[in-house]
């Protein structure tokens, strides 16, 4: 799916996608006014081929209330509209709500 989003022209959008990946890193989780999170996912959980999940809501379109709700290594499915911001940053479209559809934590032993 990242390939499809990466080939979009700058600011062109594609709606109603479901994208699965592993969390690479979490940039921010706002548990206050907005309740959204900014994080990166990729197919294999590495920095190669990342997709930026920008101002996205939690599972079931709910606000984030826990700063540790998502962590590197978690498997997620995000749904929403996606764009290739400025032609070089594949990410979710902030003005069109995106949210976690599924999340699974893989506990390290």
Q: Which residue has the higher pLDDT, 19 or 102?
A: 19
High-pLDDT (> 90) share of the chain, %: 66
Q: Residue 60 pLDDT more than 70?
A: yes
Closest CA to 4 of 39, 48, 49: 49
Spatial distance between the Cα atoms of 21 and 24, rounded to a whole number of angstroms:
9
Q: What is the mean pLDDT of the chain?
A: 89
pTM for this prediction: 0.88
Tens digits of residue pLDDT in 72-108: 999 999 999 999 999 989 999 977 777 777 777 655 5
């Amino acid at each position: 799916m990242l390939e499809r989003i990466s080939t979009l022209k700058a600011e062109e959008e594609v709606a109603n996608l479901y994208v699965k990946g592993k969390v690479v890193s979490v940039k921010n989780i706002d548990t206050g006014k907005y309740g959204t999170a900014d994080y990166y996912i990729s197919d294999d959980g590495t920095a190669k081929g990342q997709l930026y999940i920008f101002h996205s809501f939690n599972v079931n379109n709910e606000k984030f209330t826990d700063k540790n709700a998502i962590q590197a290594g978690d498997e997620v499915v995000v749904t929403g509209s996606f764009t290739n911001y400025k032609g070089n940053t594949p990410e979710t479209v902030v003005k069109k709500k995106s949210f976690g559809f599924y999340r699974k934590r893989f506990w390290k032993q």
